[in-house]
Structure 1
């Protein structure tokens, strides 16, 4: 009988992991979508089947959704729709302020719904999705799509009012007169996105839909501007010049235009002062770069944070659970806390922790209430003093779905010799720990884990016809147990695990005398062929490019680029072993790759814009003059980012690329009109002044309408808004500074060029 040689116990398997939900034991299920799947669709489908699953659960069981990444996406998308609506209203108000007519405003604004609806149709054909980036692109386009219609309707209005032409003649001549300028403007705006659309890697995947949406809206806006807008002006464009308030408004604008005209003529005669000021402002603005800082993406407040726990090696699961309960009670005491989900015995690698398993590890994820007065970062700072009183390594960080499961700060210490790498990693860890801006830090090297090593005696193994794998199997059977078969009862199966009693596992004499049988059926005891030694060792070992490695990672409370620069400078000043390499990984590595791709895209965009204008003007010099608006925008971009507290990241750099196709439009309008006047035989200086003054209204209208369209995004109010705000701030601030300076610099540069040509 079996019970005569063994004790048979009906029990459960050894508990290695535990999960808790809101302070109660639970079973946690993590659902991961496929890479090409839509998050919202997956979540909706899962929620549909939950009621059916709930019916089949035992009485008293309840399914609770602890974390739902789709909530942030839904709120962000809804927020962008809201901002899109506000942008349309603001653009309409700005246009009405210049056109003085509801009919004229509606004619121009008609380009918005036609372009946006048409873009949605083209996006559907292209199999794009409505996400944060594609909708943000639509919002940014609101001010841009009216650009062509503004220039055309303003010129038609000028023909009817100043030249007293009939509606039909004015519509035809007015549209044709600015056709080349409008076409060049919209083409320059479209070609800047070609490098992004055809770029591979992270930036290509991230911004492809963004760029194509801009191209679609620009194409449709151009079509509307040259077809529907002129036709509607013949029917609905009314002369409101006889109304008292319009007369007063026109007088005010005429005074403003004359003031600009006088200032421009003075500047053309004595330009040295302003040129000297610009020459100082452009390089001076680069002084702001260290104060602005660099990072991959601005961290969003999604109302979630996580606490990662690593206690002393050898800590059992019960002790770890007690610590988790203490932290849960503290977290639950905050009125802002909504849900708590804890994992004991395991840490999923994430923002600040190395993924690891063992009874000394635990992780607590906290979901905060939607309506609360404190931000997630403020709550984290409040709980840190309490966590500091608990023994062990405990890190707390803000959760963000945009982190892609990685850490903002991640550094690999690698080399040929494992001991050298380990010692060097400890020095690097202390350097990083003392660097300003590093809020939490952890390392993958955790020494001190108790171990029992069975060191085989190879000569004795060979003499006794045994192998090291046989010894390993005996040790495993004794300490962990083996499952030779299963017991079936009805539809259920139960593992039959054979092992030695728990008390014996800690007795060296028992372990030393474990029987080992060779292929000849001869029996030996373990101490004859192996030696038992107690020691401590690392909880895990890593390799990077097939070499020993230690990972150091954590979170930062300053821009990542600034922190990495400080770390690199400190490490460079240290005399580290030359054979050890320090490699930047994680978000820092992705940021470097993304910045390189974006700077390459920026250079290609500038080149393409230049070539489009060179073909349009049939000149190499005139486009070069217009490109002079780009350096002028740098002053506004850096100043705007600094004043609003935004950083240089992939979104603000994308804003600069968008700006390349926008800021040249003002220069195109001025030079195109001045060139026509000069060809008609007018004096170059008079032509430049007249062109600048006559184009003042459309330049101001397009600039302000674009600013109004992007203002809701720049204000960063709402879920996910902080992601897109740097892009809008870059465009608005760069557009305003370049417009202000373009009104003086472009006329001066073009006049200088024309005079040189006339002398020849």
Structure 2
């Protein structure tokens, strides 16, 4: 109990989004383990007295057969332990090779923040040339809906024409639309949301009126508008956003050539048609018209001018001032507006203004207080978000000049920020477990016979996610912390009994072998119960399945390795730490001696 709590306790204090996810698991598991320990120490003995029956000779055939098979398995296991106790050098070489392989797997498994979840819907966007009318946008949306809705896994579609939801910079825009595609329940469809997104791209590839885009929603609500990554191009020098616009085509072209990246695109357009009102300040002053009055009049009639709020039926509404549509339909309508002069007369705006068409961005976004342009993209199938981030940074360093920088937003920012969280969590867990064991055994060296069992769990977890092509994400890392405690638990069962046998007078080798034999059954039974309980988690489906599969796969692989590999070498670790000799003789197995725990030489050879 203390070991599991020690493994999860420190990670409850990690910061950032990853720390928040760690904290939820840490607090939940720690409380559950403490309550389980209290029940085991108080209620379980009473239940044993009530439920257990006296042992009789009349056993069921199945149990007789099972006990014979298990006795044979125990003998084979004990022989395997004795094999490594006699060949300590071979055992340590295999252990070192496993550690090296685990390190290679750590580098080979791609990183990520959280897995891309199938949330039962996905998002689309229609992007037309700047200045396109709502009618053109609506026509393209209908083409997209007709092409995509042929997929029987899609339940319905609905669109918001004129809303730039994904771009985030323009808000209401006549040349953009946002579409939502709710899917049928998981049990009624044969494709995941990610597969349907890819199919939607193929079905809408023939649309020439504009750019159709499709995205999965973010795995965690609030981390951006869509899944994938958000890359911000920033200008720290001169030229503003126009300088960034000049670099965009080259950057996007090179990014889409990378094998890790897919659909790198921007919704920014630098040549949006605009009306520019040039005010002749001197002439306006000569007519007695104040400049603020001119700008306020334009804002209130052509734009939407906020007045105040009012309450009605328990809800708050805003009052916005704006001219009717027919009075702001043409550029000539600007000349029909009047402004009151200082003398009280109404002066037409056309008397001191000139209206002309220009091009430019409809809005200029800022990120980190710098002019910025947002790029959207995703990782290609078979690659992780961490690999996509690394590829995008590699392209940016090649293409961008010195005064142009970049940064990340949404889930990508959190992934970069939490990249060191796994090392901190695992390191803190190992340190706390070591301190707990050192206090229990009252020695600094003996806990290492338990700690050396932990790499087996890490190796098994990494191998499992590598074979299933999963990522090293936050949920997998939470599973690794769990494995620290579970791997230590199995090793503690052997080491604790070995310590008892040494105190009874056994030599370290004989004590380790006897402890392995005695604790093999409880270790195997409890571990198999846990492994079978994790199997549904590793192969789950439906809502939130990706997170459960990531967590369950790592824990399943780690427990298999900790159960069927580590138990052969834990007795060897105990033996080496206590007598520090690689050579083992037959006398060490058959002649228990009085050896103070941790002593290198026996004090009374041959004395039982």
TM-score range, shorter chain: 0.7 to 0.9
Q: 1:355 to 1:286 in 2, by over 3 A?
A: farther
| Residue among 431, 446, 450 paired with 2:273 | 450
Q: d(CA) in 1 for partners of 2:457 and 2:500?
A: 27
Check the 8 A contact 1:412/1:582 in 2, yes or no.
yes
Q: 1:546 to 1:592 in 2, by over 3 A?
A: closer
SS in 1 for 2:190: coil
* Structure 1 residue 357, shift from structure 2 partner: 1.7
Q: Which residue of 1 aligns with 2:312?
A: none
Instruction: Please give the root-mean-square deviation of Cα atoms over the aligned residues, in Å.
Output: 3.1
Q: Which residue of 2 aligns with 1:759?
A: 600
Q: Which residue of 2 aligns with 1:702?
A: 526
Q: 1:686 to 1:367 in 2, by over 3 A?
A: same
Q: d(CA) in 2 for partners of 1:257 and 1:500?
A: 87
- TM alignment of 1:399-414, pairs within 5 A: 399=217, 402-404=220-222, 406=224, 407=226, 408-414=228-234
Do residues 296 (structure 1) and 92 (structure 2) align? no
* Structure 1 residue 542, shift from structure 2 partner: 0.6
SS in 1 for 2:343: coil
SS in 1 for 2:214: strand
| Residue among 469, 487, 498 paired with 1:674 | 498
Greater helix content: 1
Check the 8 A contact 2:148/2:204 in 1, yes or no.
no
Q: 1:211 to 1:483 in 2, by over 3 A?
A: closer
Do residues 344 (structure 1) and 161 (structure 2) align? yes
Q: Which residue of 2 aligns with 1:649?
A: 473
* Structure 1 residue 403, shift from structure 2 partner: 4.3
Farther off after superposition, 194-203 or 555-564 = 194-203
Q: Which residue of 2 aligns with 1:276?
A: 93
- TM alignment of 1:409-558, pairs within 5 A: 409-416=229-236, 417=238, 418=240, 419-476=242-299, 479=302, 505-507=330-332, 518-521=341-344, 526=349, 529-557=352-380, 558=383
Alignment gaps of 5+ in structure 1: 1-185, 485-493
* Structure 1 residue 676, shift from structure 2 partner: 1.1
- TM alignment of 1:154-169, pairs within 5 A: none
Q: d(CA) in 1 for partners of 2:526 and 2:252?
A: 53
* Structure 1 residue 655, shift from structure 2 partner: 0.4
Q: Which residue of 1 aligns with 2:34?
A: 219
Q: d(CA) in 2 for partners of 1:189 and 1:496?
A: 63
Q: d(CA) in 2 for partners of 1:734 and 1:320?
A: 53
**1:680-714 Cα distance to aligned partner (Å, 9 max, x none):** 11222111111111111111112111111211101
* Structure 1 residue 386, shift from structure 2 partner: 3.3
- TM alignment of 1:307-456, pairs within 5 A: 307-349=124-166, 356-370=171-185, 371-390=188-207, 391-399=209-217, 402-404=220-222, 406=224, 407=226, 408-416=228-236, 417=238, 418=240, 419-456=242-279
Q: d(CA) in 2 for partners of 1:207 and 1:426?
A: 40
Check the 8 A contact 2:379/2:387 in 1, yes or no.
no
* Structure 1 residue 583, shift from structure 2 partner: 0.7
Q: 1:242 to 1:604 in 2, by over 3 A?
A: same
* Structure 1 residue 524, shift from structure 2 partner: 6.2
Q: d(CA) in 1 for partners of 2:328 and 2:41?
A: 89
* Structure 1 residue 344, shift from structure 2 partner: 0.7
Q: Which residue of 2 aligns with 1:565?
A: 390
* Structure 1 residue 332, shift from structure 2 partner: 3.2
Q: d(CA) in 2 for partners of 1:354 and 1:500?
A: 24
Check the 8 A contact 1:461/1:467 in 2, yes or no.
yes
Q: d(CA) in 1 for partners of 2:284 and 2:67?
A: 104
Q: Which residue of 2 aligns with 1:66?
A: none
**1:308-360 Cα distance to aligned partner (Å, 9 max, x none):** 111111111122112222222333333223221110111323xx876632111
TM-score (norm 2): 0.84
Q: 1:533 to 1:269 in 2, by over 3 A?
A: same
Q: 1:671 to 1:581 in 2, by over 3 A?
A: same
- TM alignment of 1:55-74, pairs within 5 A: none
Q: Which residue of 1 aligns with 2:585?
A: none
**1:623-674 Cα distance to aligned partner (Å, 9 max, x none):** 1221111222222111110112321111000000111111101221111111
TM-score (norm 1): 0.68
Q: 1:397 to 1:495 in 2, by over 3 A?
A: closer
Q: d(CA) in 1 for partners of 2:346 and 2:464?
A: 82
Q: 1:194 to 1:495 in 2, by over 3 A?
A: closer
Q: d(CA) in 2 for partners of 1:271 and 1:551?
A: 59
Q: Which residue of 1 aligns with 2:78?
A: 261
Q: d(CA) in 1 for partners of 2:556 and 2:484?
A: 12
* Structure 1 residue 464, shift from structure 2 partner: 4.6
* Structure 1 residue 496, shift from structure 2 partner: 9.8
Q: 1:612 to 1:461 in 2, by over 3 A?
A: same
